[in-house]
Amino acid sequence: MGTRSTIMDTNSFRPEHAAELDHATRKLTDKRNKILGESYRLFYRNPVHLVKGQGQYLWDAAGHQYLDVYNNVASIGHCHPAVIEAVNEQMKMLNTHTRYLHENILDYTEELLQTTPDEIDRAMYMCTGSEANDLAIRIAREYSGGTGIIVSQEAYHGTSSLTSGCSPALGTEQPLDDTTRLVPAPDYYRIQTDDLGEWFAQQIQQQIDDMNAKGIKFAGFLADSIFSSDGVMPNPVGFLQKAVDVVHANGGIFIADEVQPGFARTGDSFWGFGRHNVVPDIITTGKPMGNGVPVSGLLAKSEVLAAFSDKIPYFNTFGGNPVSMAAAQAVLKVIQEEELQTHSKYVGGLLLKELTKLMDKHEVVGDVRGAGLFIGFELVKDRITKEPNKALALNLIEELRNTHRVLTSVAGPYGNVLKLRPPLAFQTKDIDWLVGALDQALTKLK
């Protein structure tokens, strides 16, 4: 087996863990192994059997309550009543597709485009982030006339043929496209430079030059603006601008994959790219858009989209259906009415401050960084050498799950960064639970 997938295998149940499970859990894992494909992975050495969710909390089959510090799928909170009501009411009336007229898709699009830069004035809808990024790559190639796509070293952009070929985080057994090029992540913690933006722009230019040398025309740069799979890279604010300038100077487009940093997550802006004061050519989104209802979107500059849409029809049976649009409308309304962007910035700031205090107590905490309710908590063996401590990170998330009932996972090429990304329902009262759990678990494990 080649290098394991950093997003699928670093925090996963493996067959060798089965002997330690209780009878009921073992029965379920055995059944999964028998009837589901081998590609599936479960979180944790002792998988969690969840049966209920509410807000930022989850409950397992035994009635134990957990603090969810990982899920951006239920972005505004598990089982949010506004989404449940909107979906239920629409389901009672109609659910078809976009080849019939319906108000929901038009009303939602007008509202969503008000959150984007003025240059972004068109929208299309799908069901998953993978589909959105797949279409974005197709559009980039039509617009530029090229095929070359640049992504970061540990990027994850989807599971379709096109997107998996641009997702190195899936592991070496998943080959990258011949036209895909990788740039190192803009890791301010590890890269010694006075200007990270200039350094990152140079990395992109080098890969464009390599493409040119091999007869590959550059099409675009596809990036998650907080580089979550690379280990959460939010700073310094504004560093993406020079990279986007290089992309445009070379005839390509910038695709902002906002599946993880979008929809008020980072606090500073509704969209993650907004923190860097850049205007993408295409925005893609997915999971947080429908709070668990499958819906995704692609927003674009009309002149960029026209290169594709003026000659190639596009249809997605379930994309943009009235029920999904009702869910998306409810999510957007909750974000705005409950001021969740402001909430994310405020509560995330308090959480970041408390997490940073753990550095004074635990030498193994090398860095704490984040924006809003999206924080990377990096563990090292030595602060001077910054040698990653993957073993501790994996043991830590197991201890958090088993003893403190806090759910999270790891990210980054070394598997040593805890990705703390709770639903936006996370409150100040939850900070003590999370930080206390981390403190006690680190004290026990180090």
pLDDT tens, residue by residue, 300-341: 999 999 999 999 999 999 999 999 999 999 999 999 999 999
* 375 close to 355: Cβ distance less than 8 angstroms: yes
Picking from 338, 361, 395, the residue at the C-terminal end of a domain is 338
Q: 276 and 416: one domain?
A: no
Rounded to an integer, the average pLDDT of 23-41 is 85
Would you say the pTM of this structure is higher than 0.85? yes
- Would you say residue 203 has pLDDT above 90? yes
pLDDT, tens only, 252-294: 999 999 999 999 999 999 999 999 999 999 999 999 999 999 9
- Would you say residue 199 has pLDDT above 50? yes
Give percent of the chain with pLDDT exceeding 70.
Answer: 99
Q: What is the dihedral of CA 220, 137, 164, 373, to 10 degrees?
A: 70
- Would you say residue 4 has pLDDT above 80? no
- Would you say residue 91 has pLDDT above 50? yes
Distances, alpha carbon 346 to alpha carbons 339, 350, 353, 401, in Å: 11, 6, 11, 26
Residue 34 placed within a domain: no
Residue-number span of the structural domain to which 92 is assigned: 81-338
Q: 185 versus 2: which is more confidently predicted?
A: 185
Q: 348 and 328: one domain?
A: no
* 201 close to 242: Cβ distance less than 8 angstroms: yes
DSSP letters along 371-437, please?
A: SSS-EEEEEEEETTTTEE-HHHHHHHHHHHHHTS-EE-EEESTTS-EEEE---TT--THHHHHHHHH
Q: What is the CATH number of the domain that holds 183?
A: 3.40.640.10
Q: 192 and 268: one domain?
A: yes
Picking from 309, 338, 367, the residue at the C-terminal end of a domain is 338
Picking from 338, 360, 393, the residue at the C-terminal end of a domain is 338
pLDDT, tens only, 137-151: 999 999 999 999 999
Rounded to an integer, the average pLDDT of 374-390 is 97
Residue 323 DSSP code: H
Q: 211 and 105: one domain?
A: yes
Q: 352 and 334: one domain?
A: no
Q: 377 and 307: one domain?
A: no
| pLDDT for position 42 | 85
Pick from 436, 440, 415, 444: which is nearest to 351 by CA? 436
| pLDDT for position 172 | 77
Pick from 330, 337, 261: which is nearest to 290 by CA? 330
Confidence of residue 3 (pLDDT cuts 50, 70, 90): low
Confidence of residue 1 (pLDDT cuts 50, 70, 90): very low
Give percent of the chain with pLDDT exceeding 90.
Answer: 88
Rounded to an integer, the average pLDDT of 78-89 is 98
Q: What domain count does the chain have?
A: 2
Whole-angstrom Cα distance, residue 196 to residue 394? 29
Distances, alpha carbon 144 to alpha carbons 63, 208, 216, in Å: 54, 13, 12
For the chain, the first-to-last Cα distance in angstroms comes to 31
| pLDDT for position 44 | 86
| pLDDT for position 409 | 95
Residue 20 placed within a domain: no
Residue 225 placed within a domain: yes
Confidence of residue 426 (pLDDT cuts 50, 70, 90): very high
- Beta-strand pair 148-152/253-257: unpaired
- Would you say residue 2 has pLDDT above 70? no
Q: 348 versus 9: which is more confidently predicted?
A: 348
Q: What is the CATH number of the domain that holds 415?
A: 3.90.1150.10
* 323 close to 294: Cβ distance less than 8 angstroms: no
Phi (first) and psi of residue 52, to 5 degrees: -155, 150
Whole-angstrom Cα distance, residue 374 to residue 421? 5
> Rounded mean pLDDT of the chain?
95
> And the tokens for 110?
């007008």
